[in-house]
Structure 1
């Protein structure tokens, strides 16, 4: 966990398999590989069963505590909701509550789906009450945050996160979750098998490909997930980009 900079329980529960990085071919990992596992004569590598058991047990305990914490917070919110008296100080700080009360009948009869909005606000206010213990985000909030980060970019995500406290998880947590996901994207590689499996799952036979206007890579970079170097764009691709620009 220290080598991967996993500095919190929430981070640990989000990254998935923390032993995944041991599959990388790096001299920096030789020392910890010797401590955590065994090299076989056929050059394969296996982890010690005791370490796997200890880590899995520890993660199971954290998951159980996390579920109990969420259930307790939900019960507290449910008990507090029985009181219909809204403090004047709260209305002064959040004037939209007065508007919500005034138009409550319209909200109740509206055909709009407020499920996500309700979850976001519930999670946000619950986090404000436990700020000293660390924020917790429900799965649907994490999914929304990931989509917002991917579609809007880091700057837009950080702008929204800074202006609405405790609403969204940090960029570091999102990046760790994305890196640990099975459907990682690799620059210059088309995932035919993944696309085919997805099309089959939704019973679709036609697809469309569009350019995302990604900027040309200015330098060679190393991708730790795929253990490859991302090079400059090919000369043929440069020609197509230039030709498209002038056309």
Structure 2
């Protein structure tokens, strides 16, 4: 019979190697029955790890103790004043041990597969030199943040790069933009105009929202400016909040807004 059929690992619980206490004993009883369950329980072998670490489960039968009389009678034959473990119980122990070891090996193989996947990532890194300085920059930026010396320019740049890379892994219709990128997009559109905005947006895939999205942001904003309508109070409030005394307006701004 194929050993894969004998040792069906798919029937084992995912946490079989971490079982302890009552859960472990229930598992043992369901797989190999009561006799081996009792032998383990009387020795306080109460976890999968403890079971796999025990060299000789049947060593207990070498000792002469009244507490062991009942379990010896159930599990052994007495021959010439020596107790010999019944063949069925020995077979159950062999089966259980092999089953758990194969499960353990399966987990090791899965970890090795994950490591192999990691090696593929390193190959990708070697084939794309641009990734190396980018990773170095992220590490340096992380250290800066941990030292509570956050640079607002680096913070926006990190947010901008994250936004691009996240969008490149999505379908175009599912592109998303964080608040700092939205504010940057509005500023670029207002100051640079439609043609400049579109030129940058088309050449930086996933970096900036479309004009439709941008116009929606403007319409939903509380800062809509209409041609010929002056809002000096709001302008003064904004300048004071930013400690600015002077402002400049281009004639073309109203056409954009």
TM-score, with length taken from structure 1 = 0.43
Identify which of structures 1 and 2 has the higher relative contact order when contacts are C-alpha pairs closer than 8 Å and 6+ apart: 1
* Larger Rg belongs to: 2
